[in-house]
Amino acid sequence: MARPTIVFDLDGTLVDSAPDLAAATNHVLTRHGRRAVSLEEVREMVGQGARKLITRGFERTGDALDPARLEPLYAEFIDYYTAHIADLTRPFDGVTALLDLCVERSIPMAVCTNKLESLSVRLLEELRLSHYFGAIVGPDTIGIAKPDPRPLQAAVECAGGRQDLAVMIGDSGTDIRTAQAASIPVVAVTFGYTDQPVTAFDPDHVVDHFDSVWPWIADRFGLPA
């Protein structure tokens, strides 16, 4: 029996990392005379990497950021975030149970994220989740970020899977557009980080909890429920 490969987004899908991302964002903003942003604001701004998060943070708190200032601020963000990457970040409810089930059923898994590969690996190791995944692909892994489909395709390939037997699980328009561009079905979670409802991007399936993921995958790929 052919087995699907499940590729997960990281922030807002596998893990609730918004509190630590907010702390790193506010570390940069307040050091440079801006107000701190709220956790809810950060949840709406995450999804396209740290540079975009910083840029959006400055847009939310005053004048837009001079592009010439971005790289030094990005370095500040990364230094702080690396030191505090798992202070408050935790897997979403039901994640570990789904990952364990997939291991039991020999389902290969991977991560495709717009967080740097090294930070993604570090975070998953801190949370004792890294061993579940046959590949962890960030925007720097192949030099391309989502919503380009190639990082997702690379994640499937590196995990030993087939493109025609893959599924993406994500929380944002970026994830959904990535999967659609790769002609890979996508499950959207409703509890992640997005400024628009995930239903607006026409995913193949929507879930409110990870408990609902496996029944859909089993039905889609003809596997035991």
> Catalytic site residues?
9
Number of helices and strands in the chain (H, E): 9, 8
Query: Alpha-carbon distance 108 to 96, whole Å?
Result: 15
Whether the Cβ atoms of residue 60 and residue 37 lie closer than 8 Å to each other: yes
* C-beta pairs of 200-203 under 8 Å, 24+ apart in sequence: 200/173, 201/173, 201/176, 201/177, 202/176, 203/176, 203/179
Name which of 49, 52, 45, 1 is nearest 22 in CA terms. 45
From 181, 162, 77, 90, select the one nearest 128 (Cα to Cα): 90
110 DSSP β-pair partners: 7, 135
Contact in structure between 156 and 162 (CB atoms under 8 Å): yes
DSSP string, 106-139: T--EEEE-SS-HHHHHHHHHHTT-GGG-SEEE-T
SS3 state of residue 80: helix
